[in-house]
Structure 1
Amino acid sequence: MRIALFVTCLADTLFPAAAKATVRLLERLGHEVVFPPGQTCCGQMHINTGYQRDALPLVRRHVRTFAPYDVVVASSGSCVGSVRHQHATVARAAGEASLAARAEDVASRTYELSELLVDVLGVEDVGAWYPHRVTYHPTCHSLRMLRVGDKPLRLLRHVRGMELVELPDADQCCGFGGTFALKNAETSTAMLADKMRHVLDTGAEVCTAGDASCLMHIGGGLSRMDAGVRTVHLAEILAATEES
């Protein structure tokens, strides 16, 4: 299958390992991954802060860039959520019915990584090997907006050498929420403290998730505590093998 990679801003600028791991994984599974060079920010940040008019050119560009591809994947539930649930709405609100229809078409072919693997490619065992004690944090957008359910866990349960431990109160938000962490810093910090306590209670060496943004928030807090727990994107674990 020929799959277009939607890299996302955070992966491009701060966490490229997640995007590179996505490519390695899909190529190992026998698929061709292409990188459409015209892609930019999907506009989620603008939309979430009320700047829909400023987001419109980004939506238009995203649709134009990814329209030629049958399948699009991103290692971010948050950005895929924006493409699926915001792009057409923004276009329609601006009176651009044609763009809205095209946005819905692109959205119908855009998947978060675990969705692509389980629902589209029909695979749960990707041949990964990761000899560590790991706990999984289900991010809000993937859990509540995309409703990926247990797909990431189903993939993780097949990783050889790994001990997967359940995260207490896993469905609770980590407190990041994009600009929420800036505008409501005290509340965000309190939510993060709860999440870190639960992570530490598992005795895990690694906390994983499908969104680099949440991992950045959790990892930053754990690092400041010198807790000795690393945050690693789901794609990096699934891409790991005994040879890598």
Structure 2
Amino acid sequence: MRVGLFVTCLIDMMRPEIGFSALKLLEAAGCEVVVPTQQTCCGQPGYNSGDRQSARDLAEKFLNEFDGFDYVVVPSGSCGGMIKTHYADLFADDPALRGRLQRLAPRVFELTDFLHTVLKIAQLPPAADSAFQGSITYHDSCCGLRELGVAAQPRALLAKRSGVTLTEMADSRACCGFGGTFAIKYGAISSAIVDEKCAQIRACGTDAVVLGDLGCMLNIEGRLRRSGDDKTRVLHVAQVLAGDC
């Protein structure tokens, strides 16, 4: 099985170790993984800001780089949602590109959905001696949950990681307030939303909050630290599953 890994621009620039954890998980499951070196952005920031032309250019670039793989895996619910849900709008006036997308989209999966639903992995790769062990709570990122149906998959996989116990927070499905450019345009509202999320995380009393989208991860971690919480770890689900943190 030949898998194209869409690392995402945010992971590439801010937390490349998450990309390596995703790679480790896929290879341990027996996949031949290819990471196209010219990949960049999925186009979501431009699309959300009304710049349809740049978003469309990036969507076509994605098609050119990834439509030759058996599957495409994305360690981000927001980027996966952009590809599977919104590219069709960008290609609405181009039957040829729309047709290519229709053939590719069913093969595009968020990381935990692919591991759980397609590969049906029975066990995770061995964890490093320094791997995280402790209590966690899980934040459901908006796009992964609402556009891709990712909820049970990461929890089922986390249950396979020895030494990790899950405690559900109140309103785990509520937004963290990031929303890409929303956090820039509506800073006060975004801050109020993430304050609620951080309060729910702290109320759990867990060692870490785990999630599947780096945008949410950076937003939550930044607010926790600015509010004086230097203890609660904020981890991407790929890092915990791979035993790399």
* TM-score, structure 1 normalization: 0.94
1:232 maps to a residue whose letter is L
Q: Which residue of 2 aligns with 1:184?
A: 186
What secondary structure is seen at the aligned counterpart in 2 of 1:41? coil
Correspondence list, 1:15-164, <5 A: 15-92=15-92, 95-123=93-121, 125-127=123-125, 129=127, 130-164=132-166
CA distance in 1, matches of 2:178, 2:98: 29
Q: Which residue of 1 aligns with 2:220?
A: 218
CA distance in 1, matches of 2:7, 2:104: 15
Q: Of 230, 233, 236, which residue of structure 1 is paired with 2:236?
A: 233
1:124, distance to aligned residue in structure 2 (A): 5.2
User: Alpha-carbon deviations, 1:88-115, whole Å to 9, x = none?
Assistant: 21011xx211111112222211100111
What secondary structure is seen at the aligned counterpart in 2 of 1:86? helix
1:180 maps to a residue whose letter is F
What secondary structure is seen at the aligned counterpart in 1 of 2:109? strand
Pairwise CA RMSD: 1.4
- CA gap of 1:199–1:128, structure 2 versus 1, over 3 A, is farther
CA distance in 1, matches of 2:125, 2:199: 32
Say if 2:5 and 2:73, in contact at 8 Å, map to a contact too.
yes
1:61 maps to a residue whose letter is K
Aligned residues between the structures:
240
Say if 1:117 and 1:124, in contact at 8 Å, map to a contact too.
no
- CA gap of 1:88–1:217, structure 2 versus 1, over 3 A, is same
What secondary structure is seen at the aligned counterpart in 2 of 1:235? helix
Structure 1 unaligned regions, length at least 5: none
More moved, 28-37 vs 133-142: 28-37
1:216, distance to aligned residue in structure 2 (A): 0.3
1:223, distance to aligned residue in structure 2 (A): 1.2
More moved, 223-232 vs 178-187: 223-232
CA distance in 1, matches of 2:155, 2:90: 33
What secondary structure is seen at the aligned counterpart in 2 of 1:39? coil
2:3 maps to a residue whose letter is I
User: Alpha-carbon deviations, 1:22-69, whole Å to 9, x = none?
Assistant: 011111222221111231211111111111122111111110100111
Q: Which residue of 2 aligns with 1:171?
A: 173
